[in-house]
A and B are shown apart, each in its own frame.
Chain A
């Protein structure tokens, strides 16, 4: 118990470096969990929760600022207490994110276990962090105090936070495969649910098998003798002789993820200081969406269109280099811009989802062919408007994620479109490439500190690169290439890059897909 108390006390003191900086004040301490003599924090004021018996009995301490009560627990307090408190906070908060339960785990393993999807009923909408993550943040803010605190501690590794998921095969089941726009657009939104948790971080992608029977075929290759070619024979066996079927998996960026117990638009309400939220984790996602365009002779994308609800496939994930958002937290950025053309917008929307979590102001420049290319009938995916309603792809989701239709979204139609159709957006540009309004915007806002991410046709990304270079804006592109393996083995997906004046063929799957645009050899 003494050991536990001193760990708790240390943990509290380290966290207090961060809370102190953010002006989040401690208002209740469960003193029997700590060595009270060495506690750094002073009680300041009180919250409406620190008289609440259930909270007082089960939590470790409470902190608050004007907007939010933060109720902290330690992971080792026992599942019963954690669950009880988690459910209670969930019930009193009423989806407003004014009361936030945060559980601090000792290490990454315990943190990871709590984030598995089978823990959704235990931990409801609790947030998680680890001692290591807190230490790292504290170290960044106030090295001196941090060193003093940890001076006498044994076994505390000072270079700490290396928490990420490794790639593996996951079974998935299709929820929905909805066409977007009219049949000429050939765009689909595919939603699926994974058997287990998949943690896809900004910049990462998945490889998906497009043919549902594929895996089974390769494993049980021994040919079966068919007695009759009845309707029960799977489609692929009928056509196997004449039609080429896919052999490799296909790479896709994620469009959106959904987390159990978190509403589709929870980011509209969540409002935690970015330095605190950058050390917090939530339950891993289970529902995913991708957006794809069917290519004329695309074997894989054509196979994807045949998938229907309940079909089972396999993905390899997560893949690709993680874009470290902590860089953006440190840098104190005014605005993030995303500039996307066509289905290239999709992975940028996911990036926005991750960025909004950190509360960074975001502007979206979206370029599509015409108005129809946005419209789809939304029917099944939970958390949308209801059956059969018209939805606008990209636009509705960006709104869900907290972007304002009147000031944050800039929509360009390549083909002339009846302006009357779009009444709820202020910034609509007709007959324009997305780069034109973007050029205008950054010209007018050159005093701001901006990071730009773009994805779409190469000519578009090149233009964005040139524009951003002109104003010294840090600019990244999401590259797309033909891929075979996705894990750096085959060297198929290379793009020409320049580092220290030397040309390289960089693998998009390992060194990308997010690559700083100035590293790309755009003359290639």
Chain B
């Protein structure tokens, strides 16, 4: 194993700083369909699943996706089979990946988050799951959803609730929404609630309108914007949280940078801004070889510069 690529998210050792992003990584079908399955898995530090909720959800009305300039708007609405079926059908397959599995969880209330995380703890008899990523920010669920992510008190409560239910069984990551006035306030709240790491950003709220029909294109009207167009927002927010949250700065609460990454320059930008690891999402829709490409390029870069990822975290802050 390459010595310069591994990073640590609390007690979780990731062999590379590359993760899938929830919502764009499905749960089991996609990687097994691909010829480069093994190369993808060799390039990943962990696999973050699609959002899982307590009960089955059918998701939103169609159309669910629209292409915009340099990105996409989606409103899938967290379609999933529910946690029970997820453990029956998907987890046994995910275990075969032989990399840490992080389950992205969604719920409509603080107590539901608690219930869901406890359920996962109970169902995870084989210790297949390494972490939970709390989705306090998905903008598509009308109940709660956006409201959670924007309210520091609620975020703190959710994180504390989840943490108290699972204790130290899982590494707890809180995924922050960019649809807030000051993301560092929300980040601090999650840290106060006891989160082990922060991931950011989720999609930006957006809309596209059909100029012929003169109405919103998405079945759900509003959607979440992702893709290269949101990268500057993500980099900025990682930079701000690293700068203003002491636990992030001293890296006791590491940051996972997500948003618009398509190549290794983008990964480096996030690392320099303060991220310890990065999630790659939408780019994977266009290029199924993205993980192995970035892995190789990143490796070459580190070999050339004789550096390690861990030593590069937050570099941009030193050079001002």
Secondary structure at chain B's binding surface: helix, strand, loop or mixed? loop
Q: Does B195 contact A (CB under 8 A)?
A: no
Whether the Cβ atoms of B263 and A219 lie closer than 8 Å is yes
Given contacts A490-B74, A491-B59, contact A248 B29 (CB under 8 A): no
Task: Tally A-B pairs: CB < 8 A.
Answer: 120
- Residue pair B76, A492 in contact (C-beta under 8 Å): yes
Set A248, A487, A503, A504: member contacting B34, Cβ < 8 A = A487
Contacts of B33 in A (CB 8 A): 166-167, 319, 487-488
Asked if B300 CB lies within 8 Å of chain A CBs, one says no
Check if B34 sits within 8 Å of A247, measured CB to CB: no
Complex partner residue of B284 from A221, A246, A481, A485, CB under 8 angstroms:
A485
Binary per-residue interface labels of chain B (196-227) against chain A in the complex, 1 for a CB within 8 Å, 0 otherwise: 00000000000000011000000000000001
Q: Which of B62-70, B94-102, B301-309 contacts A (4 or more CB under 8 A)?
A: B62-70
Q: B120-128, B236-244, B285-293: which lies at the A interface?
A: B285-293
Give the CA-CA distance A426 to B30 in the complex, in Å.
47
Q: Does A1 contact B (CB under 8 A)?
A: no
How many A residues touch B, CB cutoff 8 Å? 40
Q: Is the CB of A510 within 8 A of B29?
A: yes
Kindly identify, within residues 243 to 266 of chain B, every residue whose CB is under 8 Å from any CB belonging to chain A.
262-263, 265-266
Are A169's CB and B67's CB within 8 A?
A: no
B228 close to A248 (CB less than 8 A) = no
Is residue A297 contacting chain B, with contact meaning CB distance below 8 A? Answer: yes
**Counting CB contacts under 8 A, is B106 at the interface?**
no
A327 at the interface (CB under 8 A from B): no
B58 in the interface (beta carbon within 8 A): yes
| Distance in angstroms between the alpha carbons of A296 and B212 in the assembled complex | 10
Is B4's CB within 8 Å of the partner chain A? Answer: no
Contact flags (1/0) for A502-513 with B, using CB distance below 8 Å? 011100001000
- Among residues of B, the one whose C-beta sits closest to the C-beta of A481 is B62
- Any B CB within 8 A of the CB of A249: yes
Query: Which residues on A sit within 8 Å (CB–CB) of B34?
Result: 166-168, 487
Nearest residue, chain B, Cβ from A314: B287
Do B286 and A489 touch (CB < 8 A)? no
**Closest A residue, CB atoms, query B77:** A491
Known: A167-B288, A248-B72. A218 touches B228 (CB 8 A): yes
List residues 69-93 of chain B with CB under 8 A from any CB of chain A: 69-72, 74, 76, 79
On whether A221 and B266 interact (CB within 8 A), knowing A247-B286, A487-B34, the answer reads: yes
Task: Tell me which of B37, B67, B293 contacts A248 (CB under 8 A).
Answer: B67
Task: Tell me how far the C-beta of B293 lies from the nearest C-beta in chain A, rounded to whole angstroms.
Answer: 7
Asked if A470 lies at the interface with its beta carbon under 8 angstroms from chain B, I say no
Q: Which of A297, A482, A489 contacts B24 (CB 8 A)?
A: A489
Q: Is A244 an interface residue (CB 8 A)?
A: yes
A218 touches B263 (CB 8 A): yes
Are B63 and A489 within 8 A (Cβ)? no
What sequence of 0s and 1s flags, for each residue 476-490 of chain A, a beta carbon within 8 Å of any chain B beta carbon?
A: 000001111101111
**Contact (Cβ within 8 A) A169 B287:** yes
From the candidates A167, A488, A494, name the one contacting B35 in the complex (CB within 8 A). Answer: A167
Count residues on chain B whose CB falls below 8 Å from chain A CBs.
Answer: 44
B283 contacts the other chain (CB 8 A): yes
Known: A487-B34, A488-B33, A490-B76. A168 touches B288 (CB 8 A): yes
Closest to B70 in A: A247
Known A221-B262, A505-B59; contact A487-B30, beta-carbon cutoff 8 A? yes
Report how far A428 CA is from B66 CA in the complex, Å: 40
CB contacts (< 8 Å) of A269 on chain B: these are none
Contact B266 A485 (CB under 8 A): no
In the bound complex, what is the Cα–Cα distance between A222 and B70 (angstroms)? Answer: 15
B26 within 8 A of A: yes
- Decide: A489 near B30, CB < 8 A? Known: A166-B35, A505-B79: yes
Q: Could you tell me the distance in whole angstroms from the C-beta of A219 to the nearest C-beta in chain B?
A: 6
Answer whether residue A419 sits at the interface, using C-beta atoms and an 8 A cutoff. no
In chain B, what residue has the closest Cβ to A243?
A: B69
Partner of B59, one of A297, A299, A494: A494
Is there an interface contact between A219 and B288, defined as CB atoms closer than 8 Å? no
Q: Is residue A316 within 8 Å, beta carbon to beta carbon, of the partner chain?
A: yes
- Set of chain B residues within 8 Å of A491, measured between Cβ atoms: 50, 59, 64, 76, 79
The one of B63, B212, B265 that contacts A221, using a Cβ cutoff of 8 Å: B265
> B212 and A297: CB pair below 8 A?
yes
- When distances are taken between beta carbons in the complex, the residues of chain B under 8 Å from A158 are none
Residues of A within 8 A of B287 (CB): 169, 215, 218
Chain A 208-236 near chain B by CB (<8 Å), digits 1 or 0: 01000011001111100000000000000
Q: What CA separation (Å) do A218 and B288 show in the bound complex?
A: 13
**Of A246, A299, A492, which contacts B74 at CB under 8 A?**
A492
- Does any Cβ of A come within 8 Å of B36's Cβ? yes
Say whether, besides A244-B69, A247-B227, A490 and B285 are in contact (CB < 8 Å): yes
Are A484 and B285 within 8 A (Cβ)? Answer: yes
**In the complex, B299 has a CB within 8 A of chain A:** no
Whole-angstrom distance from the CB of A150 to the nearest CB of chain B? 30
Query: Contacts A167-B35, A487-B34 given: A494-B64 contact, CB under 8 Å?
Result: yes
Contact of A168 among B35, B63, B71 (CB under 8 A): B35
Closest residue on chain A to residue B76 by CB atoms: A491
Quick check: is B25 within 8 A (CB to CB) of the other chain? yes
Closest to A488 in B: B29
Closest to A218 in B: B262
Q: How long is the Cα–Cα vector from A248 to B71 in the complex, in angstroms? A: 8
Evaluate whether A221 and B263 lie within 8 angstroms (CB atoms) in the complex, with A247-B286, A248-B285 already known: yes
* Interface membership of chain B positions 261-295, coded 1 if the CB is closer than 8 angstroms to chain A and 0 otherwise: 01101100000000000000001111111000100
CA distance A488 to B288 in the complex (A): 12
How long is the Cα–Cα vector from A215 to B58 in the complex, in angstroms? 34
A-B contact pairs, 27 of them (CB 8 A): A165-B35, A166-B37, A167-B288, A168-B35, A169-B287, A215-B287, A218-B228, A221-B265, A247-B68, A247-B69, A247-B72, A247-B286, A248-B67, A249-B285, A249-B286, A316-B288, A481-B62, A485-B30, A487-B29, A489-B29, A489-B30, A489-B50, A491-B59, A491-B64, A504-B58, A505-B79, A510-B29
With A221-B265, A244-B69 already in contact, 14 other A-B pairs whose C-beta atoms are closer than 8 Å? A219-B293, A244-B67, A247-B227, A248-B285, A484-B65, A484-B72, A488-B26, A488-B29, A488-B33, A489-B29, A490-B24, A492-B74, A494-B62, A505-B79
Can you list the 9 inter-chain pairs with the closest CB atoms, starting with the nearest?
A168-B35, A488-B29, A492-B65, A489-B26, A166-B35, A485-B285, A487-B30, A218-B262, A492-B64
**A residues adjacent to B (C-beta < 8 A):** 165-169, 209, 214-215, 218-222, 244-249, 296-297, 299, 316, 319, 481-485, 487-492, 494, 503-505, 510
